[in-house]
Structure 1
Amino acid sequence: MTDVRQITDAEIPDWIRALNTGFLRPPTVSDRHLADRRTAMAGSRTSGAFDAGRCVATFRSFDQELTAVGGAPVRADAISNVAVVATHRRRGLLTRLIGDDLTAAKDRGDVVATLIAAEYRIYGRYGFGPATTTTEWTIDVPRAGLDPRRPGHGGLADTEGGGRIDLADPEEVRKAGPDLHERLRLAQPGAVSRNEHWWATDTGVLESNGRAWTEPFYAVYRAADGTVEGMVSYEADDRWSDAKQPRNTASVNWLLAVTPAAERALWHYLCSIDWITQVKSGWRAPDDLLPLLLPDPRAARVSTQADWLWVRILDVVQALQARTYDTAGTLVVEVVDRAGLAGGRFLLDATPDGASCTPTTRSAELTLDVAELATLWLGDESAGRLAALGRLREERAGAARRADALLRTSGRPWCPDMF
């Protein structure tokens, strides 16, 4: 029988080989990769499945904070590095690994679990639901209509309002980036915390998945008083036409901005770089300001739009009490959880000043799976849409409409991170 358990230090090389194999990466484990992976695993929970002494499935989770609607951070069990090698699929290994992890997370008091799903159809059966969407735009720079001769309209170093953009090196990013990200994270529902390992990997201190690091370009936006309000990491290719005309693309790895001025300035800067004729935005919120920051919004076309952060609610009471509500109202929901972790009937009593959620014996007004509750929790999905799809059931007429009035938000949740 295949053994599912926490791995030992001596088993890390075999675990990495299985992980790389599952993700179709070269299985070779270098000394540098092994050392950096040990650093990444510090403080995390790493488990695997072993058959005849060989690792055939991998799983890792770690502590995280997720921002709820209204800005409150909630404790999350972040799941990553999930792989089952091709020889051992369809044997229930993931079910055993994720079941053990979610039970332990519930016992620890984690409110939710999170992951980025490589495949859509896997995680719904474990109670996860897609809770945020990501969008990528491709900007046709010549069509955008920006004027590089005007400050604030072409990314000049000195921008409107006294702000300024400067290039930065990795050390500056490690110093200023974490504080900037925290300011954004606590204002953005759906955003998750970044640990020191994230910044060390992004700036070349540690390798990521055994790949050699190539330094990107970094630019920082400072307000007139010197406060860092925005930062971007980007790369550029080297393409020229047969007529010796540049056709280069700037690809954004990430862009953080805590003010509209910083966001505008950074996008205009990227569109002003000599030889750049196209900008790929990287992962952005679906209601990002980007297209409307350009004189011609049609210059930015959507090139990717897909589900992103998936959430699994482990504590319905804490999850619904952690977020804020723009209107007052009550709702009784019957939550079905086949894993037995978070099911039950709950009364939500919400007001703009606070909310309570308690177990109740009152008749349910909505019945839904715990995965559908996760999809609704951050405010991006509509209960009315889920009812039309048969993914929740109204026990009282109009309950889905009332749920939308309570749960939906004016701004869409967004998770800037892959983990």
Structure 2
Amino acid sequence: MQKSKEEFCESGREPDGAFSGEFDQEFDQKFDQEFDREFDRKSTHDLKWRRAGVEAYLSQPIRDDMIPMWIADTDFGCMKGIVEAVKRRAEHEIYGYCAPGSDFYSAVAYWEKMRFGWDIQSGWVTALPSVVSGINIAVRAFSEEGNGIIVQTPVYDPFINIVKRTGRVPVFNCLKNTDGHYEMDYDGLEVLAADPNNRILILCSPHNPVGRVWREEELRRLAEICLKHNIMIVTDEIHSDIVYGDHCHHPLLSLDERYASKFIHLSAPGKTFNVPGLKMSFALIPNPEIKAAFDEMQLAMSLDIKNTFGVECVQACYTEEGVEWLGRLLAYLEANVDLVCSFIRTEMPAVRMERPEGTFLCWLDFSEYGITDEELLKRVNLGAGVVCVPGEWFGKGGEKHLRLNIGCQRKALETALRRIKDAVG
């Protein structure tokens, strides 16, 4: 049965009580059984579980019994409709070049309308290998070497890396942290946006790693500043479906026709349905001139080839079955959030963490332990074997933090939390 955006936004649960070692399940156990299933991800060379890859990532040796909670995919099996769609396509026995058809565009339009109340047109859609590739295309198409690109740190580290590797200059509009709650620095943004050398702002919405789901008024204030100073906003909205409690995600371009005419929206089913390896994302660009320039740069970068199975995946994800599956996923993930909050409150009160409003990422602040980033990495990632992303990699404001991926079976999460507690003392 189809659910409206409002129903999803009202489906949240309050945090549970003190952690007891055994998590008190409050929803249908069938859902737990679905997401508690364990999979062997080592034999399939999954990057998250590949020890050699983790050691290269950290430039350090890692324990054999590591618990990988770093890269942002989940350890959950895909919903049946996706598996069946991929199997059907595989049985065709020819895997040549492909292109999205009307079913692809209809699926994207269905999802945006059903989840966010946004009416989109098929002519706005450009299929992409990934959201990161979309950012890369936009930076190259709408700025020049030496131009400033505004990023709001601490933020997903590829944003900064793309800017540097394209010969642009990262310009930092750091988020304001008040006791773990993050807000945008609009006064600082006003100054940066007024500089004519700064051309683009990359927005993370919902925000990775701090877990904020930006309110409508926050997004509008940001957009108005950028419109005023002719700053293009490129939005990474890949976590838009993973939103908890009474929080609602608002696609920036859906809020005002002026925003739709100037900005670029990027998203994908990868985080929601755990299919990033199928390499299919999309841009929504209502302005035909901006879209033409974006598409031309995509061709120039040879990023226009489509993944045969990725096309099938999008069409399977963005369905009524996908709606129902997402509801169960959110219930499981929010229970994982409850577990982390309860454990920290009772077992590690010196760790500070603002309850995430969205994403399956928790942003842990170890500042009160009085240890360096190097020592924190040594104790948790190397000593405890709980592989998290070091906070300093997210730029200014990430020091003495770790990003913990809770998109995993609850048993593994409990073990990881125990290990972290033992490691930091």
| TM-score greater than 0.5 by the shorter chain | no
The structure richer in helix per residue is: 2
Normalised to the residue count of structure 2, the TM-score between the two structures is 0.25
The structure richer in strand per residue is: 1
Normalised to the residue count of structure 1, the TM-score between the two structures is 0.25
Structure scoring higher RCO (CA < 8 A, sep ≥ 6) equals: 2
